[in-house]
Amino acid sequence: MRNYWQYVTLTMLIGLGIYMLMSGNADLSFLQAFMVYNFMALLAHQCEEYIFPGGAGVVINRGTYKEVDNFRRYPGNTQSSLIVNYSAYIAYILGIFNPNWIWLGIGLMFFNLMQFPGHVIANNKALNSWYNAGMATTLVLFTPMSLYYFYYIVNQEMVSGWDWLFGLLTFIAMVALTVILPVQKLKNPESPYVWPEIQVQRFDRTMKWARRKS
């Protein structure tokens, strides 16, 4: 499961896409449908990171954590990656069933926007590249969707100061519990949960055309 969870994610993305095309848009309120699409954006982001072009585990270890020598297992590994990616589903699914929890929506949008400095700036700088796996969905889905959500809730007068505060606290809690804690708790220079060769190959293939000319 550690090496194949992303294909379950792809199946979920396809299933939700079919549902929304067939009846979801008519069955759901605007905000609830938006939250479904927001969850689909997360699934698409994970598919970009780990399937096509893939190799995000290597991107994160080499780009985010600057690990050059032991990047196949440290600090992130397949065990922590599974937990990081799947634990985020809890908040996104809660958002679908509780679209009027504006504070939660704000927290999710902040979580989306967190990908921008990571994928667009930090990873590209560390890897000397103009693209890395996860950047396209960050630019095309996460960023515009999150900004539109903020515009919508303000324009519809649905948000209070308390919502912004609790949204920020929710974002901080999500980062701590679904990103920092799993990676830090499970990091081990001798971890048996090594990134498989296919992920390394996907990273290398991407860097062949995405590396900036010196």
Could you tell me which of 194, 211, 169, 213 has the C-alpha nearest to residue 58? 194
Q: What DSSP character marks residue 139? A: I
Spatial distance between the Cα atoms of 119 and 139, rounded to a whole number of angstroms: 9
Domain edges within the chain: 5-210
Beta bridge partners of 211: 129
Tell me the angle at which helices 30-50 and 5-19 cross, rounded to the nearest 10 degrees: 150
Q: What is the pLDDT of residues 126-183, one digit of tens each?
A: 999 999 999 999 999 999 999 999 999 999 999 999 999 999 999 999 999 999 999 9
Spatial distance between the Cα atoms of 138 and 114, rounded to a whole number of angstroms: 9
pTM: 0.96
C-beta neighbour count of 6 within 10 angstroms: 22
C-beta neighbour count of 65 within 10 angstroms: 15
Q: What is the pLDDT of residues 34-82, one digit of tens each?
A: 999 999 999 999 999 999 999 999 999 998 888 989 999 999 999 999 9
**Element holding 209 (H helix, E strand):** helix 197-210
